[in-house]
Amino acid sequence: MNGPKVTRCGDTEFRWGERTYVMGIINVSPESFSGDGLTDTEAILEQALRFVEEGADILDVGGESTRPGSTSIGTDEELRRVIPVIEQLVSKVSVPLSVDTYKSEVAVRALDAGANIINDQWGLKHDPHLAELAAEKKVPIILMSNQRDKGDYDAKAQRDTALYQDVMAEVMASLKQSIETAMSAGVPRENIIIDPGIGFGKTWQQDTELVRRLAELKTLGQPILLGTSRKSLIKMVLNLPASERVEGTAATVAIGIANGADIVRVHDVRQMVRVCRMTDAIVRG
């Protein structure tokens, strides 16, 4: 990869290009699209420990649903859901913890509680202060390309209506802007990870195109996170409920790795760790 070779996160080093890293989704929102949202602290901790045992390299803790059409929750409610979980996890797991939020008030409290990574689904376009926070705390930040702010977003209509002539060009322009914002705030290049934003304001056909063309994002020079797990592109192709999309997810993960993904964000950690290891053996040797 023409870009950062290593990203340091606490005591962990991510050595890009050597293998694929697996991010396990810890969803503490009851509104989750995939039906995996947990609210019981014991169940959340049990899932997190199981994910680490199964091979997760990062745990991504999120308190607000990002499914199409979901209603935003207030900062206080997000803090109530997320912070106690991070406070408990930090003493029980050795892998880095990521906070999935676009609010700097939540991110600063999460980092103080022990999180090591900021995962911003709006790529600094909702709250640019996240960049200053990442620079100040010297933590990696994941910047996602989110097209849900483009015109009238309708979850049902977007499945079949092309919003852009060239979705990859749109995503690359969005990510370039996010990278520039982060670096202008003092975030070093090695602490920036990019995410094309599968399912966020694209049609399912455009989502599959992004997976197919993922290698083009390598020109931006940053590690790539791919989040396809259980998403609507799999639903539209296979016509299966979220709980039965593991094979479809596996296909997108394998092709994503072949096309340059460095991290995959998944619900089904055990199965996807195996997919990553097999794909890495073929792709990375």
Query: Phi first, then psi: what are they for 24, rounded to 5°?
Result: -90, 135
- C-alpha to C-alpha distance for 113 and 239, rounded to whole angstroms: 40
The answer as to whether 141 is a domain residue is yes
**pLDDT, position 111:** 98
In a domain, 1, yes or no: no
Scored b (16 or more CB within 10 A) or e, 231-268 reads bbbbbbbeeeebeebbebbbebbbbbbebbbbbbbbbb
Task: Output the pLDDT for position 158.
Answer: 46
Q: What is the pLDDT along the chain (285 residues), one digit of tens a residue?
A: 567 899 999 899 999 999 999 999 999 977 554 445 566 888 889 999 999 999 999 999 999 876 665 567 889 999 999 999 999 999 999 999 999 999 999 999 999 999 999 999 999 999 999 999 999 999 999 999 998 765 433 444 444 445 678 999 999 999 999 999 999 999 999 999 999 999 999 999 999 999 999 999 999 999 999 999 999 999 999 999 999 999 999 999 999 999 999 999 999 999 999 999 999 999 998
The residue segments making up the domain with residue 177 are 6-283
Phi, psi of 255, deg, nearest 5: -70, -35
Hey, what are 119's tokens? 């995962």
Residues with a known catalytic role: 231, 265
Looking at residue 74, its pLDDT comes to 87
Minimal CA–CA distance to 225: which of 247, 244, 204, 200? 200
pLDDT of residue 70: 56
The candidate with the shortest Cα–Cα distance to 205, out of 232, 224, 181, 239, is 232
Query: How is residue 116 written in tokens?
Result: 């090591």
This prediction's pTM: 0.91
Query: 264: domain CATH number?
Result: 3.20.20.20
On whether residue 36 sits in a domain, the answer given is yes
Q: How many of the other CB atoms lie within 10 Å of CB of 32?
A: 21
What is the domain count for the chain? 1
pLDDT at 159 (0 to 100): 44
Question: Residue 278 falls within a domain, yes or no?
Answer: yes
Helices (H), 157-260: 167-184, 204-212, 232-238, 246-258
Contact 144, 136 (CB under 8 A): no
